[in-house]
Amino acid sequence: MEIRIVLALCVVLCGALCGKSLSDSARRRAETLGSIIEAVRRLRVRMTGMFEPVQSALQHADSPLFIAVADGMKGGRSAGEAWEIVRDKAGRRGGPAEYLLKEDRQALTELFTDLGQSGREEQDLLLGGVLQALEALHTTALAKAGEANRLYMTLGLLIGLMLALIVI
């Protein structure tokens, strides 16, 4: 009898953990957005505070996505052109933009298209605007991640319970 209870508890726990890992992609999206926001802040300091050229500033912003765009700029391309090339590859499995949604990518496209193309004040405004947009996306992503986490854990728990009932 005891073994059956223990076995039942194990199945329930497994269910909960499965649910948690399913909610992973929402959590990863929020994390990716958070790290991109940090990188844009660093970019802003380097570009408008230290007047560092775009390619170099992107490389030093400590973000795999930005480093990929900086590498794409080799050969004389603009940031916007480099982003077009890098975007699809980065969005694939294992890439730095894997968990980003369409609206996140849209915000990044707006950033890279105009990056470096105007004076200091305009660039500061651009980066400030992009930061605001990304922060709004980040807030909703965090809320969704929390929601998804709760939902999937509960579902996993319940399914585990059901399996335990059926089998044990």
Partner 1 sequence: MGTLDRLKALLSHDIFEQIDNHQSDLTEVRLRAGRPVQMVWIGGEALCGAPLDPEQLHAIVTALMDYSYYARESELNQGFFTLNDGSRVGVCGRIARNGADCRMTEISSICLRIARSVPGCADGIMPAVDGKRGLKSTLILSRPGLGKTTLLRDIARQLSEAGRRVSLADERHELAACRMGMPTLDVGPRTDVLDGCPRPLAIATLIRSMGPDVIVTDEIGGEGDAKALADAARCGVAVAASAHADSVEAALARSMLRAAIREGAFHNIVLLGRRPGEIRQVLELDGGGGTWKSA
Partner 2 sequence: MDVDFVFRIAGIGVIVTVIAQLLTRAGRDDIAMLATLSGLLIVLLMVVNQISDFFTSVRSLFSL
Q: What is the DSSP letter of 115?
A: T
Can residue 69 be called a binding residue for partner 1 (CB under 8 A)? no
Are the CB atoms for 111 and 80 separated by under 8 Å? no
Identify residues 13-52 at the interface with partner 1 (CB under 8 A).
Answer: 47-48, 51-52
Give the Cα separation of 159 and 16 in Å (integer).
Answer: 8
Q: What is the DSSP letter of 118?
A: S
Among 53, 106, 128, 165, interactor with partner 1 by CB under 8 A: 53
Identify residues 136-165 at the interface with partner 1 (CB under 8 A).
Answer: none
Comparing CA positions, the residue from 163, 138, 149, 77 lying closest to residue 112 is 77
Stretch that binds partner 1, among 53-61, 64-72, 83-91, 142-150 (CB under 8 A): 53-61
Are the CB atoms for 15 and 160 separated by under 8 Å? yes
The sign of the dihedral angle between the CA atoms of 128, 132, 134, 138 is positive
Question: What is the x/- site pattern for partner 1, positions 102-141, by CB under 8 A?
Answer: -------------xxxxxx-xx------------------
Q: Which residues form the interface with partner 2 (CB under 8 A)?
A: 147, 151, 154-155, 158-159, 161-162, 165-166
Q: Which residues form the interface with partner 1 (CB under 8 A)?
A: 47-48, 51-56, 73, 76, 78-79, 115-120, 122-123
